[in-house]
Amino acid sequence: MRNWKMYVLLIGPWFTFLLFGAKSFRRFLPTGIFSSLLITLISELSKSYTWWKVKKPIIPGLSTDITFVFGLFFTLNLWIFKLTYEKVWLYIISNIFADFLFAYPLSTLAEKFKIYKLVNLKRLQLFCLSLSVAGCNYFFHRFVVEKERKG
């Protein structure tokens, strides 16, 4: 299998949901879907502006890297919400830490292992973009999902 790393990154993180709990999964799933749609939109922009290039995507020609959007990003997003929601400072600190790791050491590793390469996007811009997505996710969950849930 030519791009086995991509399949591991897509499927592997989903096994962590065995420890997640069905109630929490249902609670945070709408935000995970919203976030994935937001990242899909950003991926479409990335194709136009050549912000990054995925080396061996599972579906060649598709702008969105489903490996990241529905694998590691999706699961990590739900875990951060489960562990930090209603503790806004912990949510912010967790996202700063996770987004820093993503933008700097993990992007360097991804480039080394030929998973993706940043082209017209600097690591600091990736970090800021990731933090912006985290902020959108929080506000979506807080003011759309929770309002609907309580209303």
What is the predicted pLDDT for the residue at 2? 67
Q: pTM of the predicted model, to two decimals?
A: 0.89
DSSP secondary structure of 43-101: HHHHHHHT-EEESS-SSTT-SS-HHIIIIIHHHHHHHHHHHHTT-HHHHHHHHHHHHHH
Give residue 134's domain range.
Answer: 4-150
What is the predicted pLDDT for the residue at 148? 84
Kindly state the helix (H) or strand (E) to which residue 117 belongs, with its residue range: strand 116-118
Output the six-digit token pair for 27: 């609670």
What is the predicted pLDDT for the residue at 20? 95
What is the predicted pLDDT for the residue at 106? 92
What is the predicted pLDDT for the residue at 1? 59
Cβ–Cβ under 8 Å, residues 38 and 133:
yes
Cβ–Cβ under 8 Å, residues 78 and 28:
yes
Looking at the 3D structure of the chain, how many domains does it have? Answer: 1
Q: What is the mean pLDDT of each run of 10 residues along the chain (151 residues)?
A: 80 93 94 94 91 85 81 93 94 97 94 91 97 96 88 68
